[in-house]
Amino acid sequence: MKINKVKVKELMESKGIKTQTELASILGISKNQLSVILSEKYKPIKASVEDLCMVLEVTPAYIMDIGYMQQSLFDSSVELPIDADAITAVELFAGAGGLALGLENAGIHTVEFVEIDKYCCETLYKNRPHWNIVNADVSTRDFSKYKGKIDIVTGGFPCQAFSYAGKKMGFDDTRGTLFYEFARCVKDVEPLIFMAENVRGLKSHDNGRTLETIINVLTDLGYTVKYEVLNAAYYNVGQKRERIVIVGTKAGVTFSFPKPNRKMATLQEALEGCPLSEGQSYSQRKKDVLDLVPPGGSWVDLPEDVQKEYMGKSYYSGGGKRGMARRISWNEPCLTLTCSPSQKQTERCHPDETRPFTVREYARIQSFPDDWEFCGGIGEKYKQIGNAVPVKLAEKIGLQLADAISNYRKSVTDIAEVESYELREAI
């Protein structure tokens, strides 16, 4: 990290501080000392910086450029205080914050977010500068400092095949995969609960062997493991987004998956009052084709000659493909958002206008609040949103996780009180 000198200069001007000499005088330091603070090599989390921020009336987050050079926002050698009364978590593969924000809304305090993508980290930091965000390869992180101190480990590791050497694989056999890193974190931290999110296809990946291995490895770590496929549209999200949620609990901890609503949320509910924002557009050729598709329709509604020309070889492959040339209707959930809004195989056209959904509409469909900002270019923004866990689905899961921890703590307290009472009676 380094101090953003441009922002410091802007703030100086807004405060009527004309020179660095004047600023140094207000801080009670020499001009040379101030120059050191503003230099490239200076480590900013020091008392002098706190004084600087007090004078300029801003937080350290505002004037810092985060290089995210494989390090924590804070000095990773310093153990951050953990509130023993709070329900706490560590999150891996944090992305743009969909899961993180949902768990925050559920009252869960996450003490560390690990994410390798710099744009995702900038997004997280932009919205929550007080979070402990670590831009790093998860394999480089040491989680042992959290052993016995954290209630929950969460994360959405990518779906990867394992190299099977035998009939049943153990923890060490999964080394080299991102699932291994998730399992390693669970092993080192020993949380009361872990929760992993993944694509629905994990159920059938490698003929089911991938999921079977994951469950076996996590069970061997001392957890009762169960999973369900949840459709976000039944949890106040205007999108048919199915995800497998895997939860493991220690002995004495009881977790129940959130109950779905009776009806799906619709696109109209998701986009009501959505603010204007930037967005991609279709090529003229694609626009001409999609102009022919009604709301709720797809390639099957096109004239046959247009179908053949637009779909190419896909036209003759037979079956399915209703995502191609797809225009969403207002009274249905959107189909699952992808990382790009205008891919040929996964068009998600606006109901009334022949265009992809804007960045803000994308975010609304993923149930992000309008004040959650995304960093990077427009392509990076779509990618971050498309990869995210829907916030409202994450919140529903988070409430169940929080209930499980609260109920466990209450049961432990009740048992302790009974034992204390029995001991007093015996005396």
> For the chain, which domains are there?
2-65 (1.10.260.40), 87-265+392-413 (3.40.50.150), 273-387 (3.90.120)
> Alpha-carbon distance 187 to 182, whole Å?
9
Do 230 and 236 contact (CB within 8 A), yes or no?
no
> Alpha-carbon distance 161 to 204, whole Å?
11
Q: Which helix (H) or strand (E) holds 355?
A: none
Question: Burial of 163 by CB count in 10 Å (0-12 exposed, 13-18 middle, 19+ buried)?
Answer: exposed
pLDDT for 165 equals: 45
Q: What are the backbone dihedrals phi and psi of residue 3, each rounded to the nearest 5 degrees, phi first?
A: -75, 135
> Alpha-carbon distance 115 to 94, whole Å?
5
Q: In which residue ranges of the chain is pLDDT below 50?
A: 66-78, 165-166
Per the structure block, which two tokens stand in for 264? 């799906």
Condensed to tens digits (0 to 9), the pLDDT of residues 21-46 reads 888 888 888 888 888 888 877 766 55
Instruction: Name the CA dihedral angle for 155, 160, 166, 172, rounded to a multiple of 10 degrees.
Output: -40
pLDDT for 418 equals: 65
Condensed to tens digits (0 to 9), the pLDDT of residues 115-171 reads 999 999 999 999 998 899 999 999 999 999 999 999 999 999 877 666 554 456 677
Q: Give me the residues paired with residue 356 across strands.
A: 349
Give the count of alpha carbons within 13 A of 56, CB side only.
27
Question: Burial of 46 by CB count in 10 Å (0-12 exposed, 13-18 middle, 19+ buried)?
Answer: exposed
Question: Burial of 425 by CB count in 10 Å (0-12 exposed, 13-18 middle, 19+ buried)?
Answer: exposed
- Residues with Cβ within 8 Å of 208's Cβ and at least 6 positions away in sequence, in order, are none
User: In 174-279, which residue ranges form alpha helices assigned H by DSSP?
Assistant: 178-189, 209-220, 267-271
- Phi/psi region, residue 336 (left: phi>0; alpha: psi -120 to 50; beta: rest), is beta
Do 384 and 176 contact (CB within 8 A), yes or no?
no
The residue annotated as part of the active site, out of 53, 120, 121, 159, is 159
Active site residue 121: no
Question: b or e along 124-154 (b: 16 or more beta carbons within 10 Å of the residue's beta carbon)?
Answer: bbebbeebbbbbbebeebebeebeeebbbbb
CA-nearest of 103, 159, 112 to 133 is 112
> Alpha-carbon distance 398 to 87, whole Å?
11
Do 369 and 104 contact (CB within 8 A), yes or no?
no
